[in-house]
Amino acid sequence: MGFSKGLFLRLARGGVVAAEVYDVVIVGAGPAGLTAAIYCVRSGLKAIIVGKVVGGQAAEASLIENYPGFKSIAGFELTSRMAEQVEELGVSIVGDEVVGVKEEDGLFKVRTSWSGELRCRALILAIGAEPRRLGVKGEEEFRGKGVSYCAVCDGPLFRGKRVAVVGGGNSALDAALYLSSLAEVVYLIHRRRQFRAVKALVDKVDGRSNIVKLLGKSPVEIGGDRLVEWIKVRDVETGVEEKIEVKGVFIEIGRAVNSDFLRGFVDLDEYGQIVVDQLCRTSRRGVFAAGDATTIPYKQVVIAAGEGAKAALSAYEYLSSRG
């Protein structure tokens, strides 16, 4: 089957059987969750996926050029192929939002908005993370048309062009350094007079001649015709505005993990990320986590997929040990 872009499934094939106890419930339908499902099936486990959007954030990437096996592929196409493979293996994908989880009577109970409660013996959390938005005019209009939230994913599309990076933390400076090896000029825009990144990164940025630092500047608008052509910034002290001609705007102001429903259930770090060990185990026995919502560094599709496989294998080992 194929998926239309932006699909929000209310109920996928097979639906939810309230009385059924699954071996594994996978929360999240992005690359980590989809890969976890494939490995669960291969291990002989009965699994079900519940997630709001098939493909997650990866489905919105205009082009992915660093996933093994593909010179380049649209994020939507890659994640659609993953989802099709999952369904061909007999795993249902329930398009719903998880609003609560608890452990009771030796089982995990996953509460959803519409589809009722799912019960399982092991749980894999692959809820993903969403990039924080600037909230300026033109940001949504040009998303995927020059506005990007992933320099590694989309940077090669702007080789030899002028681009802007918005942010002042480690991720923003990392993005600027990466893009400086591809782009003609990188404008690094930060509303404060000093970067928040570690000194080592700041020193590296200072050493790149094609990175132009615009400190004390706040973005107010992104514009162009069909694609991004400029970004407008305002001096935070004088209020003076200026347009900077760029073909790409990379927004690197952090990511948000919607993990409030997990507080008190598993350990989270100060950013709301799920704390895991090298085997994707959380602080609660029988609960595993994978993908961008965890403390594992480097938020990339291929890493999320690998962590999803690892979480499934760890879940299998855990269930096998229970007999």
By annotation, the residues acting in catalysis are 150, 153-154
Distance CA 84, CA 64 (A): 19
Distance CA 307, CA 43 (A): 16
Paired tokens of 272 = 């709301």
240: exposed, middle or buried (C-beta count within 10 Å: 0-12, 13-18, 19+)?
exposed
Distance CA 233, CA 138 (A): 13
Closest CA to 159 of 186, 141, 138: 186
Paired tokens of 143 = 């998303």
Distance CA 176, CA 212 (A): 10
| Residues whose CB is less than 8 angstroms from the CB of residue 317 and which lie 6 or more positions away in sequence, other chains included | none
Cβ–Cβ under 8 Å, residues 83 and 97: no
Report the SS3 class of residue 57: helix
Q: For 124, how many CA atoms within 13 A lie in the half-sphere containing its CB?
A: 43
Distance CA 117, CA 113 (A): 9
**DSSP for 188-252, written as a single string:** EEESSSS--S-HHHHHHHHT-TTEEEEETEEEEEEEESSSEEEEEEEETTT--EEEEE-SEEEE-
